[in-house]
Amino acid sequence: MEKNDILINIDSQAPNKAAKEWLASGGLGFVPDYLKAEYTYEDSRFDFYLEYQKERWLIEVSSYFYAKYKNAA
């Protein structure tokens, strides 16, 4: 989508796709032994579950929209 000559991402899954690639490639300083997207724990859903050595992680990804306009009132 474009607004005021600025491209805006409206794909709500894009941040999770980028996060998965980042996590899988060692973005946290290690490559997980196991990585699963859309993980359910009890009554909650998390974006990612990963295991590394004996550690278990639940990860939630957030994104936000930020735009700075010149001459904004």
pLDDT of residue 68: 64
> Is the whole-model pTM more than 0.75?
no
Percent above pLDDT 90 for the chain: 63
Cβ atoms within 10 Å, residue 38: 10
Q: Which of 15-19, 20-24, 44-48, 68-72 has the lowest mean pLDDT?
A: 68-72
Q: Name which of 31, 73, 21, 38 is nearest 53 in CA terms.
A: 31
What single string gives the DSSP state of each residue in 43-70? TEEEEEEEEETTEEEEE----------T
Q: Is the pLDDT of residue 53 over 80?
A: yes
Q: What is the mean pLDDT of residues 27-41?
A: 97
